[in-house]
């Protein structure tokens, strides 16, 4: 029997590498191509299975002159490139790493998507499931490719998968037992033609669900409420504003999913800050209870409550770094959307000096103006957007900074005791850093030097 030929499009340290090695391990003839040069890819190539053929510096349709049976598309590569368009014209199936892994999956699945809160909800859901007796494994867009762990999962395990819209674009049969849509705000509009296109990609998470499955949705999100299509799965909602299957009232999280109102947890006991994290907690609660309901398992609600209280949160998400000269420093580098910045501002008491900017993602940044009033004392603008933001927010006191260190020093100079210096950029990091983690770590390092007296600011 002839060996099946697979082309992986996009080689990176995570998804492309994991997909290539997984396929090679399954006995397929694997070729991987990337637009980057071989020299740039060399550190990744060294980690590849030796049987994998590498085409570097080229994603031209001519690659398809070799007859491939399937293409696995890495999430960072858009479907719009000529190579993928030509593959579709030729009838070559194009699938995501998520779809690839699902073919080999025997475990249960909780899938989590949305604009904001995906990573925290993924980790918190896995934490709650583990605390209540499930063998749960977080993976996906958090940095652990699903394909890299799928063979290690047992039949009773639970893969808790963070899913970006990019990963969901090319699924075909993937079906989670429980799906969560955290929220929907404008994002990645440099890749999508409209907010509706972005939403449709997200909603692929539920397209294969049936009546035995569960779909959990943000009941406060107006866009979702007006655009949600009919679903086959059972639907639960969470809300900060009204009674729902899980809701927030008078500082507490309540659940009505089992037919009666039950106080589940007090928000002031959570280690994660802000109303957006209350939403994340409610999502995790509903996911845990939904999966238990599907599998006819009883959940100890006290253990679920204790899990909510013990969760430490993730770095770079409204992360308290420390205090210096009466100013609190908060690292929210993961906030690459307007919605995430709004949530951070709502979570922080008192006046804020906001470090804002980076590489624009096509969002409507003017939406921030109304949230700045009475909250943001001054803006410190960084990155590629600083000149545009200087015009857009001209009625708000602002300063331009050349580097993160310059931004922190200028934030100190315009702040007073009792203020919060908040890094919440509303933009991608790629103009100045490799990723949001590097940006956040730089902010933390600068704070540490400042607090140790190693960085002069006066």
> What pLDDT digit, counting tens, does each position of 73-126 carry?
999 899 999 999 999 999 999 999 999 999 999 999 999 999 999 999 999 999
Assess contact for 398 and 389: CB atoms under 8 A: yes
Residue 138 CB partners (closer than 8 Å, separation 6+)? 122, 123, 125, 126, 144, 160, 161, 162
Q: Which pLDDT value is given to residue 363?
A: 86
Burial class for 152, CB neighbours closer than 10 Å (0-12, 13-18, 19+): exposed
Number of residues that make up the chain: 458
Q: Which pLDDT value is given to residue 19?
A: 98
pTM score, whole prediction: 0.88
The list of the chain residues with pLDDT below 50 reads none
Assess contact for 385 and 366: CB atoms under 8 A: no
Q: Which pLDDT value is given to residue 454?
A: 97
Residues 121, 334: Cα–Cα separation, whole Å: 14
Assess contact for 404 and 443: CB atoms under 8 A: yes
414, containing H or E segment: helix 404-414
Beta carbons within 10 angstroms of residue 259's beta carbon: 6
Q: Which pLDDT value is given to residue 1?
A: 61
SS3 371: helix
To the nearest 10°, the Cα dihedral for 367, 370, 373, 377? Answer: -10
Residues 258, 268: Cα–Cα separation, whole Å: 24
Q: Which pLDDT value is given to residue 72?
A: 98
Residues 23, 3: Cα–Cα separation, whole Å: 12
Residues 76, 122: Cα–Cα separation, whole Å: 20
Residue 32 CB partners (closer than 8 Å, separation 6+)? 7, 8, 9, 10, 11, 16, 20, 48, 52, 53, 54, 55
């Amino acid at each position: 029997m002839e060996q099946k030929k697979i082309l992986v499009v996009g080689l990176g340290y995570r998804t492309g590498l994991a997909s290539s090695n997984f396929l090679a391990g399954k006995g397929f003839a694997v070729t991987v191509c990337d637009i980057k040069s071989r020299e740039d890819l060399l550190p990744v190539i060294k980690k590849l299975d030796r049987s994998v053929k590498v085409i570097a510096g080229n994603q031209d349709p001519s690659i398809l002159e070799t007859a491939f049976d399937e293409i696995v598309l890495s999430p960072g590569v858009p479907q719009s490139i000529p190579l993928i368009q030509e593959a579709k014209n030729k009838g070559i199936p194009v699938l995501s790493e998520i779809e690839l892994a699902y073919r080999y999956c025997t475990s249960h699945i909780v899938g989590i998507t949305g604009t904001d809160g995906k990573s925290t909800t993924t980790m918190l859901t896995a934490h709650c499931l583990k605390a209540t007796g499930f063998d749960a494994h977080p993976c996906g867009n958090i940095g652990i490719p699903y394909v890299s762990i799928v063979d290690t999962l047992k039949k009773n395990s639970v893969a808790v998968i963070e899913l970006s819209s990019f990963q969901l674009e090319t699924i075909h049969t993937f079906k989670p037992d429980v799906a969560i849509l955290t929220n929907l705000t404008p994002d990645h509009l440099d890749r999508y033609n409209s907010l509706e296109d972005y939403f449709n990609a997200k909603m692929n998470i539920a397209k294969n669900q049936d009546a035995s499955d569960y779909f959990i949705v943000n009941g406060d999100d107006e866009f979702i409420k007006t655009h949600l299509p009919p679903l086959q799965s059972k639907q639960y909602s969470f809300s900060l504003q009204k009674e729902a299957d899980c809701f927030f009232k008078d500082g507490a999280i309540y659940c009505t999913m089992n037919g009666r109102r039950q106080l589940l947890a007090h928000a002031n006991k959570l280690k994660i800050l802000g109303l957006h994290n209350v939403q994340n907690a409610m999502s995790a609660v509903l996911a845990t209870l939904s999966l238990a309901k599907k599998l006819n398992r009883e959940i100890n609600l006290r253990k679920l409550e204790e899990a909510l209280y013990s969760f430490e949160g993730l770095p770079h998400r409204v992360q308290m770094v420390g205090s210096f000269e009466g100013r609190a420093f908060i690292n929210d580098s993961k906030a690459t959307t307007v919605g995430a910045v709004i949530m951070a501002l709502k979570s922080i008491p008192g006046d804020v000096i906001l470090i804002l900017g980076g590489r624009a993602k096509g969002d409507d940044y003017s939406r921030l103006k109304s949230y700045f009033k009475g909250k943001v004392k001054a803006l410190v603008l960084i990155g590629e957007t600083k000149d545009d933001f200087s015009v857009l927010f001209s009625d708000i006191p602002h300063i331009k900074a050349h580097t993160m260190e310059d931004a922190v020093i200028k934030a100190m100079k315009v702040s007073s005791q009792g203020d919060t210096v908040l890094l919440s950029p509303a933009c991608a990091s790629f103009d100045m850093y490799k990723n949001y983690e590097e940006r956040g770590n730089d902010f933390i390092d600068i704070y540490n030097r400042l607090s140790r007296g190693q960085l002069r600011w006066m």
